[in-house]
Amino acid sequence: MATYKEIHGTVIETVTSDPSNPVNGQVWYNSTDQALKGFTSNPAGGWSTSGNLNTARKSLEGTGASNSAAIAFGGTANPPIYALTETYNGSTWTEVADLNVGRTSMGAAGTSTAAIGFGGYNGTARVATNETWNGSSWTETGDLNTARSDMAAAVAGTSTSTQGTGGYSSTYVAINEQWNGSSWTEVGDLNSARYSMAGSGTITSALVFGGYSTAQQALTESWNGSAWTEVADISTRYNLGGTGISNTSALAFGGQPGTGGSSGKTEEWTGSSWTELNDLNTVRVGLGSAGTTESALAFGGEGPPTLASTEEWAVPGLTTVTFTVS
């Protein structure tokens, strides 16, 4: 078996910043970080760090089609409550037009150019406020029937077709409402009322997982377009991030586990069970999320402290690693 020395020689390049497009197996010395680094593939997928949000915050919302095109809005740093909106292009966040009503813990769906944000907490009360994004500004439109925060959303839906599930009103609820582009209609409720879940899918094929009622939950429920069915449990946690395109494909990450604190755990749903994959680089709770099971984004949240950091999930994962040497 050939050694690294036989293949590449003994000279390792010294650089002041990591290469922008390294190849699998490449090794270099970063003189700025004073660290020996390399680039390696991970067939199971992995998280890599990217550009920070402009404003660190938690309990923010986000949506987007991939880890290279997303939108983040709302949130808090305890205080204030933010109306801030930022869009992501795959490397950097840019602040754009604010929400009309600053809120935390909303539901969201759509893309970076056509999104919807609904419900949430405005600092004094849970609200039914619903706003749609057209790529340049927010417009308030038909409100939820029941004001609440901390819902799961059909995140693969659109700005004209999604649903908001569960949440917290004066207590935790099982309510499920669908949006048709102009109004909300209550449809089949969850089997188990709870809030601070994550979700995936559309109005015809959705999944909600985790959450909190009287205690942290491991419950997963699958939606077939008319009713919810309890399926295999996830690891116990709430205030987590999640994304996915249907009730057979979802990714869950971060959150607060039953033991307390913050988690970096990542799990994938394949239609019948959850499988643990590679953890986030930074543990976090109350994070924003976007993308798909193969191209996801995690941003903001709280470790503590309140975070601005962003991580991209890719399958297969290509990750820069730092070697420990003596």
Q: Are 110 and 21 within one domain?
A: no
76 plus 191 within the same structural domain: yes
Residues 30 and 62 in one domain: no
Q: What is the pLDDT of residue 293?
A: 95
Whichever domain contains 113, its CATH number is 2.120.10.80
Please indicate, yes or no, if residue 25 is contained in any of the structural domains.
Answer: yes
- Quote the pLDDT of residue 258: 82
Radius of gyration of the chain (CA): 20
Selection from 313, 311, 307, 314 nearest residue 60 by Cα: 307
Asked if residue 62 is part of any domain, the answer here is yes
Q: How far is CA 33 from the centre of its chain?
A: 29
CB 11 within 8 A of CB 26: no
Taking the model in full, what pTM does it have?
0.84
Distance, in Å, from the CA atom of 73 to the CA atom of 108, rounded to the nearest integer, reads 10
Q: Are residues 151 and 65 in the same domain?
A: yes
- Specify if 173 maps to a domain: yes
Is residue 10 assigned to a domain? yes
Number of domains into which the chain is organized: 2
Q: Does the pLDDT value for residue 74 go beyond 70? A: yes
Same domain, 123 and 233: yes
pLDDT tens, residue by residue, 243-290:
999 999 999 999 999 888 999 999 999 999 999 999 999 999 999 999
Quick one: 307 and 180 in the same domain? yes
Coil, strand or helix: which one is 231? strand
Question: Over the range 258-268, which residues count as b (16 or more CB within 10 Å of their CB) and which as e?
Answer: eeeebbbbbbb
Domain that holds residue 13: 4-42
Is residue 15 located within the same domain as residue 103?
Answer: no
Shared-domain flag, residues 137 and 28: no
Nearest Cα residue to 175 out of 163, 186, 161, 185: 186
pLDDT in tens, 277-315: 999 999 999 999 999 999 999 999 999 999 999 999 998
